[in-house]
Amino acid sequence: MNNLDCEGKKIRCKSLIIDGTKYRTTLNKKYQVRKPYAKPEKNKIYSFIPGTIIRIDASVGQCVKKGDSILVLEAMKMENIILSPVEGVVKAINIKQGERVPRGKLMVELGFG
Amino acid sequence: MGLKRKILELHKKREEVLKGGGDKAIEKQTAMGKMTARERIISLCDAESFHEYDLFVEHEARDFDMDKKILHGDGVIIGTGTIYGAPVCIFAQDFTVAGGSLGLMHARKITKIMDHALKMKVPLIGINDSGGARIQEGVNSLAGYGEIFFRNTLSSGVIPQISVILGPCAGGAVYSPALTDFVFVVDKISKMFITGPEVIRTVLGEEISMEDLGGARVHSEITGNAHFFSKSEAECFDQIKKLVSFIPRNNTVKATRFEPGEPRPEYNISEIVPGDPKQPYDVRDVIKAIADDSDFFEIQELWAANIVIGFGRMNGDTIGFVANQPLVLAGVLDVDSSDKAARFIRYCNAFNIPIITLVDLPGYLPGIDQEHAGVIRHGAKVLYAYSEATVPKMTVILRKAYGGGYIAMSSRHLRADFVFAWPTAEIAVMGPEGAANIIFRKEIMSAPDPEKMRKQKVKEYKEKFANPYVAAARGYVDSVIEPEETRKLLLHAIEVSGNKSVFLPQKKHGIPPF
C-alpha cells in the first residue's frame, strides 16, 4: 500500500477499537468531530429553538407542578409555551422578558424540594 | 412573403432567443466562472448531436408586470443529443434568463423532455442553475416543481436520471436532484440547501456562508447528497460522460460492452492485503487488481469512505463493486456507509448490473451517536438491499467477516450466488479478542496471571475459529481460493450467472427501512 492519499499527503493511521481489537486505520472528519453524549437533565430548561421571550410565568422560589407554564418563547412565528417538565422549585431564571435567546440557552433551572 | 424571407424571419427569431438573457447577463455568468447553459450542453454532448426543442416557448404570467417581460425560452433549454453515441434527453436551466427561475412554462418544458426520456427509455440529464421558484408565478411555479418530482419518481429505476448542479439549487428545487440517481457538483459553483444563509441568520441568528452551508464539498463529504465532486465544469462533464459509458440506458438493456483488457500488473493481488487483520490497506487496489484494465469508477468517494462503491467491468460488461475500506474507520458499517451501500445495491439491481462484494470488516461502529442516529434502521437497509437484489451476486471474503457485518455483506444467507473466501478470511461471530473475553471470562479471571491466560485463550480461539474453514464446512463459503484465482473465478461466476432467474413472492412493493 502506498501511504499517500489522493492529494499526495501522507496518511496518518490511528487506532480504532472494536470488540477489544485495536485496528490501525484513519478516522474521518465526521467521526472526529462527533459530539460526546450528555445525559439530559430534566430540571434544566434549555431553549430548543432561537427566539424571543415574550412572557415569563414563573418566579424564583415558586413551587411548580409538572405541566405548569414557565414561559412563552416566540420563534418561527409561533408562540411556544414552555411547560415545567418536573415538579419542583424554580431555582434560577436566566432570561428577561423581551430577550432574544439563541438555541441551547439554559433559561430556567428547577430544584427538587 | 416568399419562402426565403420566411426562412430569414426564422433565423432572426432564433438569433434573438439564442441570446438568452443578453450580453450583460452572460458576462455576469462568465464572471462567476460559469459556462452558459448552451455551452454546457455542447461540452457534454457529442459534436453536432444536440437538438433543441421549445425554443420559442413564452410564459403567460400577467401579475406583477410580468406581461411586459420577455423571458427567452422561459429560462430553460431542452433537447436530445448523444454521448459516446448513446442517446440522452437533456434540460439545462439558463441562469441568464430571470436567474433561471422556474415558472409554469419553464417547468412544462422540463416535464416535456422528462416524459420524452421515459417514453423513449433513454437517460435524463438535468443541469440545474436556478434561483428557485419564480415568485411572480406563485402557486403555478409550485405546481411545476411537483410535476417534476412526480416524474422523477415515476422514472426511477426505469431510466438513469442524472442531476448536475452548476449554480444555486435552493429550496424545494433540491428535491428533484435528491430523487435522481446521481448528483454531480463542482467546487465553488454548486450550492444546494433548503433554507439559505439569509433565512438561517434572520430566524436562528446563526451565521454561515453559502459555501459552508451547502457548497460542493459539504455535499460530497458531509451530507452524501452528491455523488461526484470535481474542480471545474469541464472535469464534471468528463465524469458524466464516463458514468454514461458504464450504465445501461434503461432497465431492459445491458450497458454497452467494452473490449476487455487484463488488470494492470502494478496491482498485484497477492501483495495488497496484509496478513495481519489489524493492518489497513486501500481496498480500491484490490478492485483494480480484479477489474478489466484496472479501471474503477468510484461513486461518493469522499463521503462515508469506510465503504467503497462504484463501477468496473468484467469481461467487458459493467459490474457494481461494493467493498469495505479498512483504510477508513477500519471499514466498519455505520449509518452513512450503510445508506451509501444500500442505495448503490438497489441501483445495480434496478438496472440489472451484477454485484461483486469484497468483504473485510470488523463489524459495526460502536458509539452512542451511532445508536441514537438510528444505526439499526440504517444498517438494516444493507440487509434489505442485498436480500431483494436478484442480479448475480458474487462475494469474496478477503479477511475479517465478523458478526452482523458478515451477514450483511452479501452473505450466502442473503442469497449470494457465489461466496469465495481467501485463506486469510476470518469468518466468525466476532473478533478473537472479544470472543475469548466472553467465552473464557471465568478462566481468565480466576487464573493466577489473567493477562497471560487471556492471551492464551485469544490464541486458541484464533487458531480454531479465525479462518474460512468453519464456514466452508457448513457450505456457507463455496470455495476457499488463492488471491490470484479471484479474477478467474469471478469471470466464471459471472458467465455462469448469465441466465439467472429468481422468483420472488408477488407484492406491490416492499417496505425497506427508509
Q: Which helix (H) or strand (E) holds B111?
A: helix B104-120
pLDDT of residue B14: 95
State whether A18 and B365 contact (CB < 8 Å): yes
Q: Is residue B493 over pLDDT 50?
A: yes
- B185 pairs with which residues across the strands? B165, B229
Flag whether B256 is in a domain: no
pLDDT over 70 percentage in chain B: 100
Question: Are B101 and B210 contained in the same domain?
Answer: yes
User: Residue B374 in 3-state DSSP?
Assistant: coil
Residues of chain A whose pLDDT is less than 70? 1-9, 113
Q: What are phi and psi of B346, to 5 degrees?
A: -65, -35
Flag whether B48 is in a domain: yes
Q: What is the CATH number of the domain that holds A82?
A: 2.40.50.100
Q: Is residue B168 over pLDDT 90?
A: yes
Flag whether B260 is in a domain: no
User: Residue B438 in 3-state DSSP?
Assistant: helix
Gap between the terminal Cα atoms of chain B: 63
Question: Are B90 and B231 contained in the same domain?
Answer: yes
pLDDT of residue A8: 58
Question: Are B224 and B283 contained in the same domain?
Answer: no
Flag whether B456 is in a domain: no
State whether B369 and A35 contact (CB < 8 Å): yes
Rounded CA separation B169/B183 (Å): 12
C-alpha cell at B358: 469484497
Question: Are B105 and B204 contained in the same domain?
Answer: yes
Per-residue DSSP letter, A4 = B
User: Residue B168 in 3-state DSSP?
Assistant: strand
Rounded CA separation B185/B165 (Å): 5
B315: Cβ contacts below 8 Å, ≥ 6 apart? B260, B292, B491, B494, B495
Burial B118-140 (b: 16+ CB within 10 A, else e): beebbbbbbbbbbbbbbebbeeb
Question: Is B404 within 8 Å of chain A by CB?
Answer: no
The number of helices, as runs of H, and strands, as runs of E, in chain A is 1, 10
Question: Are B330 and B225 contained in the same domain?
Answer: no
Chain centroid, CA B297 distance in Å: 11
Instruction: Please name the member of A1, A20, A37 whose beta carbon is closest to the beta carbon of B282.
Output: A1
Question: Is A25 within 8 Å of chain B by CB?
Answer: yes
Chain centroid, CA A53 distance in Å: 18
Long-range contacts of B455-458 (CB under 8 A, 24+ apart): B458/B432, B458/B433
The vertex-B300 CA angle with B298 and B301, nearest 5°, equals 60
Flag whether A72 is in a domain: yes
Instruction: Please name the member of A25, A29, A102 whose beta carbon is closest to the beta carbon of B280.
Output: A25
Q: What is the CATH number of the domain that holds B85?
A: 3.90.226.10
* B513, B381 contact by CB (below 8 A): yes
Query: Rounded to a whole number, what is the distance in Å from the CA of A103 to chain B's nearest CA?
Result: 8
C-alpha torsion angle, residues B126, B127, B133, B137 (rounded to 10): -70
Question: Are B199 and B236 contained in the same domain?
Answer: yes
Rg of chain A over Cα atoms, rounded to whole angstroms, equals 23
Instruction: Please name the member of A37, A50, A102 whose beta carbon is closest to the beta carbon of B368.
Output: A37
Give contacts of A49 with chain B, Cβ < 8 Å: 204
For B330, name the nearest residue in chain A, comparing CA atoms only. A25
pLDDT of residue A19: 87
Residue that is last in its domain, among B246, B277, B308:
B246
Residue that is last in its domain, among B246, B279, B297:
B246
Flag whether B146 is in a domain: yes
Assign B193 a pLDDT band (cuts: 50, 70, 90): very high
Question: Is A97 within 8 Å of chain B by CB?
Answer: no
pLDDT of residue A67: 93
User: Residue B310 in 3-state DSSP?
Assistant: strand
Q: Which domain holds residue A52?
A: 44-111
State whether A34 and B367 contact (CB < 8 Å): yes
Rounded CA separation A53/A58 (Å): 13
Q: Angle at which helices B335-350 and B375-388 pack, to 10 degrees?
A: 20
Rounded CA separation B178/B225 (Å): 7
Flag whether B514 is in a domain: no
Rounded CA separation B481/B270 (Å): 12
| Among candidate residues B54, B83, B253, the one with its CA nearest the CA of residue B164 | B83
Rounded CA separation A74/A52 (Å): 5
Question: Are B292 and B221 contained in the same domain?
Answer: no
pLDDT of residue A1: 45
State whether B278 and A23 contact (CB < 8 Å): yes
Question: Are B332 and B397 contained in the same domain?
Answer: yes
Instruction: Please name the member of A11, A23, A34 whose beta carbon is closest to the beta carbon of B369.
Output: A34
Give contacts of A75 with chain B, Cβ < 8 Å: 203
CA distances from B76 to B128, B153, B185, B351 (A): 10, 21, 19, 29
Question: Are B225 and B277 contained in the same domain?
Answer: no
Q: How many CB pairs under 8 A join A and B?
A: 90
**What is the pairing mode between strands A51-56 and B51-53?**
unpaired
User: Residue A21 in 3-state DSSP?
Assistant: strand
Q: Which domain holds residue B22?
A: 3-246
Flag whether B40 is in a domain: yes
Q: What is the pLDDT of residues B351-395, one digit of tens each?
A: 999 999 999 999 999 999 999 999 999 999 999 999 999 999 999
Rounded CA separation B30/B23 (Å): 10
Provide mean pLDDT across the span B326-347: 97
For A4, name the nearest residue in chain B, comparing CA atoms only. B282
Question: Is B402 within 8 Å of chain A by CB?
Answer: yes
* B378, B458 contact by CB (below 8 A): no
Number of domains present in the structure of chain A = 1
Q: Which helix (H) or strand (E) holds B337?
A: helix B335-350
pLDDT of residue A75: 87
DSSP labels for B348-368? HHHTT--EEEEEEE--BPP-H
Q: Which helix (H) or strand (E) holds B92?
A: strand B86-93
State whether A21 and B363 contact (CB < 8 Å): no
DSSP labels for B185-241? EETTT-EEESS-HHHIIIII-----HHHHHBHHHIIIII---SEEESSHHHHHHHHH
Single-letter code of the amino acid located at B16: E
Residue that is last in its domain, among B246, B281, B313:
B246
Rounded CA separation B178/B170 (Å): 12
pLDDT of residue A9: 63
State whether B205 and A35 contact (CB < 8 Å): no
Give contacts of B282 with chain A, Cβ < 8 Å: 1-2
Number of domains present in the structure of chain B = 2
Assign B284 a pLDDT band (cuts: 50, 70, 90): very high
Question: Are B209 and B64 contained in the same domain?
Answer: yes
Average pLDDT, chain B: 95
Query: Rounded to a whole number, what is the distance in Å from the CA of A11 to chain B's nearest CA?
Result: 9
Q: Which helix (H) or strand (E) holds B88?
A: strand B86-93
C-alpha cell at B50: 444536440
Q: What is the pLDDT of residues B430-489, one digit of tens each?
A: 888 889 989 999 999 999 999 999 999 999 999 999 999 999 999 999 999 999 999 999
Q: Give 3-state DSSP helix, strand, coil % of chain B, rounded to 5.
A: 45, 20, 35
Question: Are B278 and B178 contained in the same domain?
Answer: no
* B127, B189 contact by CB (below 8 A): no
Rg of chain B over Cα atoms, rounded to whole angstroms, equals 26
Question: Are B290 and B241 contained in the same domain?
Answer: no
Q: What are phi and psi of A37, to 5 degrees?
A: -75, 135
State whether B329 and A20 contact (CB < 8 Å): no
CA distances from B81 to B43, B50, B113, B332 (A): 11, 4, 12, 42
Where are the extended beta strands (E) located within A1-113? 14-18, 21-25, 44-46, 51-56, 63-64, 69-75, 78-83, 88-93, 100-101, 106-111
Q: For the full predicted model, state whether its pTM sits above 0.90.
A: yes
